[in-house]
Chains A and B, each alone.
Chain A
Amino acid sequence: MKKVYANATEALDGILRDGMLIAAGGFGLCGIPELLLQAIKESGVKDLTFASNNAGVDDFGIGILLQTRQVKKMISSYVGENAEFMRQYLSGELELEFTPQGTLAERMRAGGAGIPGFYTKTGVGTVIAEGKEHKEFNGETYILEEGIFADLAIVKAWKADDTGNLVFRKTARNFNVPAATCGKICVAEVEEIVPRGSLDPDCIHLPGIYVHRVIQGQHEKRIEQRTTRKKEEA
């Protein structure tokens, strides 16, 4: 069981193909698999569908794959920070499936748990519910949402051991856990790979069963909105 690869390109070798569905972790630019996205860009693979909460910014995250027109469709809840995304969307070059954030997370979780569909109140009475099955439970209306079964999941964690157990840091966990579980194959990039036995088994956030390949690398970890307070305000 060899899970550790030298770099992002090697970790994706033999996996990428045109038209595939990729689930990506991250929220905004926090906890995004930046090295794997760069390697996907360099591979030239195209017509990709991404299930990802956001679409990055113009020159970082999924944004770099929009610049090269490698993305056909996004399944996202919020795409406001990306001018090139908007241009391609408004010109009809890019498909967009808006999915409420919690529904997107649950669609990934469900896919990973072998659940093809679930009912939720989220979006009832809105455009999101149009065309979806409605069902009443205990007098309340719910809509049917489908699990996401991705061809590939790409995620970013803080630490991994060589068996693929992952530990995340602070709010960088976000979509990485549900995204990882819903991929047929999951590739994780981390800041540090440690030997098995060095992570506390009680503090593993995602067990290695979900993670097939791991790389360690240097991350830029860009901040989208730097907000601070002054010491004297304290």
Chain B
Amino acid sequence: MPWDRNQMAARAAEELEDGMYVNLGIGIPTLVANYVGDKDITLQSENGMLGMGPFPYEGEEDPDLINAGKQTITELPRTAYFDSATSFAMIRGGKIAAAILGAMEVDEKGDLANWMIPGKLVKGMGGAMDLVAGVGRVIVVMDHTNKHGQSKVLKECTLPLTGKGVVDRIITNLGVLDVVEGGLKIVERADGVTEEDMRAATEATIVD
């Protein structure tokens, strides 16, 4: 059985180690926060916060306290606030250990496309280009194929890139792949997913 969204998030949470400062993207990556367990993880929100807490209780929303998805959130005892230049200085400066992000396409060279589909409405890259260029490790979490069944794990991205050669690990509904010399290496398969299933759903070169 391929993993569902929550299982993918749980698998991504295994990538995180005690003491890490981490940035989570929107979508499935946001769910990763639910699976960190006892690990001491500090979440960064790139609009200017370390130590992001859960959503507030009804009636306790604060318009001055939002995450990068513009959702109301809360602070924690460890929270620190700072301005946007400082926030991206810590991202660009490699202080954030990992970013877990969604993607439209990833390729075997670690190129990532997740901000723009030509001909469709362009909303902007936000902080995604800064994150993939700056953080220690970029982990992509996404479905292996699109809704037409076509692979999103490609030899070469077709969409405009967010970053070139930036992805370290890809976690999909079928399993886990690493970007290595010459292509992608299968690290793990979801229960019941065969290597043939994985290869069939992957356009990228798979190396041993």
A interface residues, Cβ below 8 angstroms from B: 27-31, 53, 76-81, 86, 98, 100-106, 108-109, 120-128, 158, 168-178, 205, 221-231, 234
B85 touches A171 (CB 8 A): no
A125-B163, A126-B162, A225-B69 known; A173 vs B82 contact (CB < 8 Å): yes
B164 touches A171 (CB 8 A): no
**Once the chains are docked, how many angstroms separate the CA of A29 from the CA of B63?**
9
A27-B48, A174-B47, A225-B72 known; A76 vs B124 contact (CB < 8 Å): yes
**Once the chains are docked, how many angstroms separate the CA of A186 from the CA of B167?**
40
Specify the chain B residue showing the minimal Cβ separation from A74.
B124
**Once the chains are docked, how many angstroms separate the CA of A76 from the CA of B48?**
17
- Shortest beta-carbon distance from B178 to chain A in Å: 20
A228 touches B58 (CB 8 A): yes
**Which of A105, A120, A168, A169 has the most C-beta atoms of chain B within 10 angstroms of its own C-beta?**
A105
Question: Sorted from nearest, which 8 A-B pairs have the closest CB atoms?
Answer: A102-B88, A125-B164, A80-B123, A102-B130, A177-B83, A78-B124, A101-B127, A221-B63
- The total of chain B residues at the interface (CB under 8 A) is 55
B69 touches A222 (CB 8 A): no
**Once the chains are docked, how many angstroms separate the CA of A109 from the CA of B88?**
11
Stretch of B49-57, B147-155, B183-191 on the interface side: B49-57
B160 touches A126 (CB 8 A): yes
A28-B70, A76-B124, A123-B133 known; A101 vs B161 contact (CB < 8 Å): no
**B61 interface residue per 8 A CB criterion:** yes
Specify the chain A residue showing the minimal Cβ separation from B162.
A126
- Shortest beta-carbon distance from A202 to chain B in Å: 15
Q: List 18 A-B contacts (CB under 8 A).
A: A29-B70, A53-B84, A76-B124, A81-B70, A101-B126, A102-B46, A102-B127, A104-B84, A121-B134, A128-B125, A168-B81, A171-B47, A171-B66, A175-B84, A224-B66, A228-B61, A229-B57, A229-B58
Q: Is the interface of A mostly helix, strand, loop or mixed?
A: loop
B88 touches A170 (CB 8 A): no
A101-B126, A225-B71, A230-B57 known; A30 vs B84 contact (CB < 8 Å): no
Given contact pairs A102-B46, A228-B59, a sample of 20 additional A-B residue pairs in the complex whose CB atoms are under 8 Å apart: A27-B47, A28-B70, A30-B66, A53-B84, A100-B129, A101-B88, A105-B87, A128-B125, A158-B64, A170-B62, A170-B64, A171-B64, A174-B48, A175-B83, A176-B83, A221-B63, A222-B63, A228-B57, A229-B56, A229-B58
**Once the chains are docked, how many angstroms separate the CA of A89 from the CA of B121?**
10
